Amino acid sequence: MNTLLAAFAFFVPIFLLLAKRRISSKKTPPGSLGIPMIGQSLSLLQHMRANTAEKWLEKRIQKYGPISKMCLFGKPTVFIYGQAANKFVFASDSSTLANSQTESVKTILGDRCLLELSGEEHKRVRNALMSFLKPESLKHYVGKMHQEVRLHIEQNWQGKQEVTVLPLMKTLTFNIICTLLFGIERGTRRDELVDWFQEMIAGMWSIPINLPFTRYNRSLQASKRVQDMLKDLIGEKKLQLQQMGADPKQDLITCLLSMNDGEEISEKEIVDNSVLVMTAGHDTSSVLVTFLIRLLANDPSVYKAVLQEQEEIAKSKHRGEPLTWEDLTKMKYTWRVAMETMRMFPPIFGGFRQAAKDIEFDGYIIPKGWQIFWVSSMTQMDDGIFREPQKFDPARFENPSSIPPYCYIPFGGGPRICPGYEFAKIETLVTIHHLVTQFTWKLSSDNRFSRDPMPVPTKGLPIQIVQKKQILQVS
């Protein structure tokens, strides 16, 4: 026994020493960091704008393999690609990978928003948001969403021969957020908020130089105005809760103010996360609906099948009766079309994390503090995973278990999976229902788009529309 212990005591340190040597002898991934600070940033941005970023990254993968180093936005960065890379990014916790935002995003959105929180704090604030954004809660708001879309179409589509889709979808998603999440009525306050909000997000991806007349400076000022407006709103909602016993579930802000003991979130957290939800939920959903409209114009057979599904639902309803959660559960084909749209035109191209410690991945070392650049959307166009990836085929999603894990993740995964998934799904289905049952359309301009960083169709996607004579779903 003693001999065994002695052997153990002798060999274990030697084994640990060798193991440590093996790790430290591992190299950082292949590739070059390029010109200091600038690195490959300009090249990436140029390819994003020309809509060739995937091709640019594919070339890297051919040259270096699925992991390589570069320098992006002033930081040494490791680009990783593939199913294992996606799993690593989304399944790792904050002790391995920290969330990493650029300086401008951090200052503009506020340091108590979910993107800046980790561990238990992230979980607490996220749970609070989910108490409103979970399906069991959102299913009661389908009627409200329906009314917003109906009003939007009345004001912006009816009687027109041509409309530009992307700006209209941005207006619609902003109005939906104001009504459902913030409980802000239409009128001066909402109009002011939208102006400040546009100014705020314009500087989100800018260089953080806070000098008068820079984009960043204007954005910071706008962010302050947005925050002040939200603080006033919170004050009013607090008063409503105290004096009139407002319904705690009437909107997200009231819901957050009514959290139980032990789950409370601070006023600063409510402000910062309202700004985050406004930002995260605005462009993403509007881009998805815009690309759906573009696809339906390009593919008559898909349009016909979507129309058939939506007409069935419209026929089952009385005149003016709003859509319900049960109606949405019948829109299976339409949602598969939306999923296929996100496979080919993902609203979120990729993002960044930061190594919280030295990490060994795929035989290389990613040093502590380096950025990790993930582009999970690339597995969605991999012909080893999706056969004929260039072909638009919603049938791929008939059997979700046929898709390997971590290969189709437009809403991310793990502890930071998009909390707005259900909200975006409801918005999309309700909007498409109204549009296909009331209009036909064709594209007025070409089919191209660029990335900014979201996909943006040329000229915002102008379309010629014809209102159907017999509106099935008169609402």
Q: Binding site: residue ranges?
A: 418
Among 6-14, 279-287, 378-386, 400-408, the segment contacting ligand HEM (CB under 6 A):
279-287
Residue 431 binds to ligand HEM (criterion: CB under 6 A): no
**If we measure between CA atoms, which residue out of 343, 287, 296, 326 comes closest to residue 439?**
296
Smaller CB separation from ligand HEM, 119 or 404: 119
Residue 284 binds to ligand HEM (criterion: CB under 6 A): yes
Residue 344 binds to ligand HEM (criterion: CB under 6 A): no
Q: What is the DSSP string of 102-137?
A: -HHHHHHH-TTSGGG--HHHHHHHHHHHHHHHSHHH
Q: Which two tokens stand for residue 360?
A: 């060994």
Residue count at the site for ligand HEM (CB under 6 A)?
22
- Interatomic CA distance for residues 368 and 309, integer angstroms: 52
Rounded to the nearest 5 degrees, what angle is found at the Cα of 230, between the Cα atoms of 225 and 236?
130
Residue 418 binds to ligand HEM (criterion: CB under 6 A): yes
Smaller CB separation from ligand HEM, 374 or 441: 374
Q: What is the DSSP string of 271-330?
A: HHHHHHHHHHHHHHHHHHHHHHHHHHHH-HHHHHHHHHHHHHHHHTS-TTPPP-HHHHHT
From candidates 31, 183, 203, 351, binder to ligand HEM by CB under 6 A: 351
Contact 202, 217 (CB under 8 A): no
From candidates 126, 237, 433, 451, binder to ligand HEM by CB under 6 A: 126
- Interatomic CA distance for residues 131 and 263, integer angstroms: 11
Smaller CB separation from ligand HEM, 183 or 420: 420
Binding site per annotation, positions for heme = 418
Residue 285 binds to ligand HEM (criterion: CB under 6 A): yes
Among 2-10, 212-220, 321-329, 412-420, the segment contacting ligand HEM (CB under 6 A):
412-420
Peptide bond into 248 cis (omega under 30): no
φ, ψ (nearest 5 deg) of residue 406: 60, 20
Residue in this structure with the two tokens 């069991």, named with its chain if needed: 136
Helix, strand, coil distribution of the chain in percent, nearest 5: 55, 10, 30
Smaller CB separation from ligand HEM, 114 or 355: 114
Sign, Cα dihedral of 221, 226, 232, 235:
negative
Residue in this structure with the two tokens 């104001």, named with its chain if needed: 178
From candidates 112, 416, 434, 451, binder to ligand HEM by CB under 6 A: 416
Residue in this structure with the two tokens 């009003």, named with its chain if needed: 151
Residues 51-90: x/- map of binding to ligand HEM (CB under 6 A)? ----------------------------------------
φ, ψ (nearest 5 deg) of residue 261: -55, 140
From candidates 419, 453, 455, 457, binder to ligand HEM by CB under 6 A: 419
- In the complex, the smallest distance separating the C-beta of residue 317 from ligand HEM, rounded to whole angstroms, is 26
Smaller CB separation from ligand HEM, 257 or 277: 277
From candidates 31, 82, 281, 455, binder to ligand HEM by CB under 6 A: 281
Residues 287-326: x/- map of binding to ligand HEM (CB under 6 A)? -x--------------------------------------
Helix ranges (H only) for 188-266 are 188-202, 215-244, 252-257
Smaller CB separation from ligand HEM, 219 or 377: 377
Residue 378 binds to ligand HEM (criterion: CB under 6 A): no
From candidates 85, 114, 246, 426, binder to ligand HEM by CB under 6 A: 114
Smaller CB separation from ligand HEM, 365 or 433: 433
- In the complex, the smallest distance separating the C-beta of residue 25 from ligand HEM, rounded to whole angstroms, is 32
Among 42-50, 198-206, 220-228, 277-285, the segment contacting ligand HEM (CB under 6 A):
277-285
- In the complex, the smallest distance separating the C-beta of residue 90 from ligand HEM, rounded to whole angstroms, is 7
Among 137-145, 253-261, 315-323, 407-415, the segment contacting ligand HEM (CB under 6 A):
407-415
- Please tell me what DSSP assigns to residue 404: P
Q: Is 118 left (phi over 0), alpha (psi -120 to 50) or beta?
A: beta
- Interatomic CA distance for residues 380 and 373, integer angstroms: 17
Q: Which two tokens stand for residue 216?
A: 């960043």
- 153-183 as b/e: b if 16+ CB within 10 A: beeebeeeeebbbbebbbebbbbbbbbbbbb
Residue 455 binds to ligand HEM (criterion: CB under 6 A): no
From candidates 115, 145, 344, 359, binder to ligand HEM by CB under 6 A: 115
- In the complex, the smallest distance separating the C-beta of residue 335 from ligand HEM, rounded to whole angstroms, is 12
Contact 181, 253 (CB under 8 A): yes
Using CB under 6 A, list all residues that contact ligand HEM: 114-115, 126, 276-277, 280-281, 284-285, 288, 347-348, 351, 410-412, 416, 418-420, 423-424
